[in-house]
Amino acid sequence: MHSILDLQLAPALDDRVSFEAAINENAANAGASTGNRRKRSLVNYSKLWANGRTLKIAFMDNPEVEHKQKIIDIASQWMQYVNLNFDFVEGKEGDIRIATETPYNSSVLGTDALIIVPYQATLNLGVKPGHEDFVTIVLHEFGHALGAMHEHQHPKANIPWDKPKVYQHYQTREMNPLTKEQVDQNIFTPFDSFEALYLDYDRKSIMHYPVLNSLTLGNWHISTNRKISKKDKQLMRLLYPK
């Protein structure tokens, strides 16, 4: 059974290739010297699509018409807040390529989709429309596809994780267990890109994992966020201004 806690951000396999793809797509990803953006290293840069461009989005398999349309309708909610166009195309060729016949829910980050071989998906949506978290998961993974990081990894989040319990929880679960490295990548390691420089930490972000009280020290938890938050909208308008 899928859970919002099953979501993963797929890492780039080659940092140099990832960096070059990001810069070729959008030179500002390297870090502008003006405004609030700061120069970044190979590891610390953004993966935003070129502002104003059209993203071709394809399905790698053949979901039922209603299933496919629900994904399209949910993903399109992001279009209100970004200066991008989504073109859901027929066939399997796209900038973003969705797989639904998969046990996973994951996405590469933004322009990392450009370095994935054409016959592989860049965004996995194994969750089915009848699942209670279907909308949440689709919104979350498309947020990654647009370049948004996990909000619980915001440098100012200061979540009082009980790390041994978190590692045990994710490494021993029956469905989609994670390695210690995957737990670090998806939960603990704070991001340091210019998203953090624009807005404060947002507990209500669609990009935030729910936080179980049993995995923190003291009485600290966050329930599942099921819609794009006010700050999510603000962030996307800043990243992709019209």
What is the arithmetic mean of pLDDT over 198-210?
A: 89
Tokens of 207: 């990009």
Per DSSP, helices labelled H in 146-229 are 163-172, 180-183, 195-198
Burial (CB < 10 A; 0-12, 13-18, 19+), residue 65, is exposed
CA distance 40 to 32: 9
H/E element holding 96? Answer: strand 96-99
CB 143 within 8 A of CB 231: no
- Give pLDDT, residue 8: 64
The DSSP secondary-structure symbol of 222 reads B
Radius of gyration of the chain (CA): 17
What would the pLDDT profile of 67-115 be if each residue is shown by its tens digit? Answer: 999 999 999 999 999 999 999 999 999 999 999 999 889 999 999 999 9
Burial (CB < 10 A; 0-12, 13-18, 19+), residue 179, is exposed
H/E element holding 172? Answer: helix 163-172
Is the pTM higher than 0.85? The answer reads: yes
What would the pLDDT profile of 4-50 be if each residue is shown by its tens digit? Answer: 456 666 666 678 888 899 999 998 888 743 344 443 333 457 899 99
Query: Which superfamily is assigned to 4-239 in CATH?
Result: Collagenase (Catalytic Domain) (3.40.390.10)
Mean pLDDT of the chain: 87
